[in-house]
Amino acid sequence: MFDDNSYLEKFSLKYSENVPKDYDISEIQFTYDFVFPVLKQGAGIDEAIGGVVKEYKLSEDYLREYFIENKYILNKAKMKDISAQLNEYNTKTLKKILKSHGIKASGKREKIEKRIIDNKLIGNEYYLSSKSKVFYKNKKRRIRIFNQYLSNHYYFNEFNEFYMDNYRKKEANIPIEFINIHIRKAIDEKNHESYVLNNQVMAEHFFKKENNRKMLVHVLKNYCMNINPIWKINDLEDHNGVLLETYENLVFLHDNFSKNTIINTFYFIWDSFDFEKIIVTKYDAYRILKDILNLKNIDKINSDLNNRFYENEDLKIKRITQKTLFDF
């Protein structure tokens, strides 16, 4: 019913387009994804780093250095232990170690040993620091909320900023309020696609929460806006008035609500839009909704809509009057 592949676009509050290349990579996220398997699943340090490298397509050297510099992992070996290890190698072998890592190998032994220590080529045994454990405790709630409800459609950096201002709120309200910010942005910009897709995300959220009544509201908001696409009046070519996801969601909801309940909710939602102009009248939208609930073929519905409205060269956009407002 909810096909994620149909709307994999991510929505940004800061960028309408040309989102920076690395905008989807967050240090908080990849640090959490490193700490969690070590702390909670018994993974080794190297194994956890490898998982982050694969997931985020980052350099292993960069990650290891980042975790060391920020003291998320600490070295078990003490300086005297490293010195003892160095003494086990002759100078020729130490030079080979440096060369194998692309590091200058010439000079006296003292300088060679310093390069090996500085580049952490010996005594490289690390463990998770107490800072990592505190990090996990402080960040797990926001990461869990984001991963469970928002990760497919939004950017963590923006959610993290929102979370910092709203972390005291009830957990159930946090993802809803964040999605609503995107819906309000779409309304302000009169962005049809963004409005429809963000309402689809909200409907999916309430489906997961088994709150069918609120799911119905957002499915009908999509139905009303998409059947009367007044924000894209100059771009109606190939427009489908009834999306497959909307059709399937209404059929699903009809198993939970009576036809009268769905239609009465439709009246309320349609009137709440306060359309200044309309392409499809409220009465036509009502009739089409009844067709959906009666399982009329979606292709036939969209074909009829295209012929009567979206592909009709003689289409006249109606201004809302008392007559069109109450055209039942």
Q: 163 near 174, Cβ under 8 Å?
A: yes
Mean pLDDT of the region 123-151: 90
Query: Could you report the per-residue pLDDT of 186-243, keeping only the tens digit for each?
Result: 999 999 999 999 999 999 999 999 999 999 999 999 999 999 999 998 888 889 999 9
Query: Could you report the per-residue pLDDT of 59-93, keeping only the tens digit for each?
Result: 999 999 999 999 999 876 665 666 776 787 788 88
Distance CA(236)–CA(234), nearest Å, equals: 6
Amino acid 328: pLDDT: 43
Q: 265 near 286, Cβ under 8 Å?
A: no
Query: Could you report the per-residue pLDDT of 270-283, keeping only the tens digit for each?
Result: 999 878 788 899 99
Mean pLDDT of the region 127-135: 92
Query: Could you report the per-residue pLDDT of 140-193, keeping only the tens digit for each?
Result: 999 999 999 999 999 999 999 999 999 999 999 999 999 999 999 999 999 999
Q: How many CB atoms lie within 10 A of CB 169?
A: 12
Amino acid 171: pLDDT: 94
Question: What is the average pLDDT score of the chain?
Answer: 89
- pLDDT grade, residue 96 (50/70/90)? confident
Amino acid 81: pLDDT: 65
Pairing between strand 73-75 and 318-319? unpaired
* Per-residue tokens: 19: 């989102």
Instruction: Say whether pLDDT at 42 is over 90.
Output: no
Instruction: Say whether pLDDT at 325 is over 50.
Output: no
